[in-house]
Amino acid sequence: MEEQQKPASQRQHFLPRLLLKGFAHRKSGKEYYVHEFRRVQGTHEVNIKNVAVSGSFYGDSEKIKTEQLLSVKENEYAPILENLRKGQIDPARKLLIDEFVTHLFVRSKYIRDALTQMGQGAFDSIEKNYAQPKIPPGFRKLVREKILASDEFRALPRHQRRLMGPTLDRNIDKFFLTGIPTKAFQFLRGNIDIQELVKRSQSEVLGKLSDPPQWKEKLEPLAWSVREYSSGTFVLGDLGPIARFMDSDDFQAPIKGGAGLDSIFLPISSQHLLVGQRKGKAEGIDPDVINIASVELSRDFFVSGRNTDRERRYLLNLGKRSSLLDEKEMQRLAQESLME
């Protein structure tokens, strides 16, 4: 489970350690250890520095500085999270709690996978029909860059290149509407790295959370509270927060659409649950229901401060409802996309 092949500067977390350490069952010096449950590898005791980590997950940290930006943000969130674990909620800090929860949405591997699926699905949709798609600005920008950098474009006489640049800017959408020439389509599909585009977009949004995306605005009607239980009650899935929408009693990934966000549930330690509910609503909460939903919606793993029959039963449900987006959800997410 230890990742030793990557330099520390390239090992980037998509769940922050300040959250993970709330689920540690032991501490050795400055090191925290949790039980990690995975479908294939089973159960292991793992140092949290090796949980929810991937080599260069946000890209080359020396170029885009995402890791440094995350460190700055985590320093802002750490005191808030510490107070929440004490059951202390300052109403004046609501916006920062909203931002922290949004940060976890945007940072997740789940949304990375969902947006990558959306980008790949956009190619399939364009190929099937030429009705006008909703093209995210970031995608349009990358298409322009790839065309201008292509050998075919560079081979044109200089005066034609000068004329075509502004024309391309004005008519990039029409490029998608006029029956995409087979060669052009093949060129784009072969030269646009959807995963790299999503990675870049995710990093850019993480760096500007003070300019709220729509998800953060959706949290505005929610009032935060902390429910405290005995130690070892909650597990944390790789999805992070889970949500419930007003048109369904089912728990969902926060990026799933619905008729308005009804509530958010985020385990912040093995004994504390952060709950965001519409003002005036005080819902009873069954920890086992929260845990099962979190495990079912997670894609790869969950962590816990305990390794008992209960957690091993949860493991049987890991990923049971972890499917990403259907076509309708992809269309909605494109309109709210990180790719702006």
- Taking the C-alpha atoms of residue 104 and residue 188, their distance in angstroms, rounded to an integer, is 32
Q: What confidence tier does 286 reach under pLDDT thresholds 50, 70, 90?
A: very high
Residue whose structure tokens are 């090992």 = 11
Long-range CB contacts (within 8 A, 24+) of 63-66: 64/200, 64/203, 66/12, 66/203, 66/206, 66/207
pLDDT digits (tens, 9 = 90+) for 148-190: 777 777 777 787 777 766 666 666 665 555 444 445 555 555 6
pLDDT at 62: 46
| pLDDT, averaged across the chain | 78
Structure tokens, 31: 């090191």
Domain chopping of the chain, boundaries: 8-110+205-335
> For residue 81, what pLDDT band results from cuts at 50, 70 and 90?
very high
Q: Provide mean pLDDT across the span 61-87.
A: 80
The closest alpha carbon to 174, from 132, 121, 144, belongs to 132
Bridge partners of 236, per DSSP, are 303
pLDDT of 244 higher than 70: yes
5-14, 21-30, 227-236, 271-280: range with lowest mean pLDDT:
5-14
Q: How many whole angstroms separate alpha carbon 340 and alpha carbon 263?
A: 27
Helix, strand, or coil (residue 163): helix
* pLDDT 10s digits, 57-67: 666 654 556 66
Helix (H) or strand (E) holding 306: none
pTM over 0.95: no
- Quote the CA–CA distance of 13 and 3 in Å, as a whole number: 12
More confident residue, 175 or 82: 82
- Distance between alpha carbon 203 and the CA centroid of its chain, in Å? 11
Residues 85-118 have pLDDT tens digits of 999 998 889 999 998 998 888 888 887 777 777 6
Percent of the chain whose predicted confidence (pLDDT) is above 70? 62
**How far is residue 336's CA from residue 103's CA, in Å, rounded to a whole number?**
16
Res 121 pLDDT > 80:
no
Using 50, 70 and 90 to split pLDDT, how confident is the model at 315?
A: very high
Quote the DSSP letter at residue 257.
-
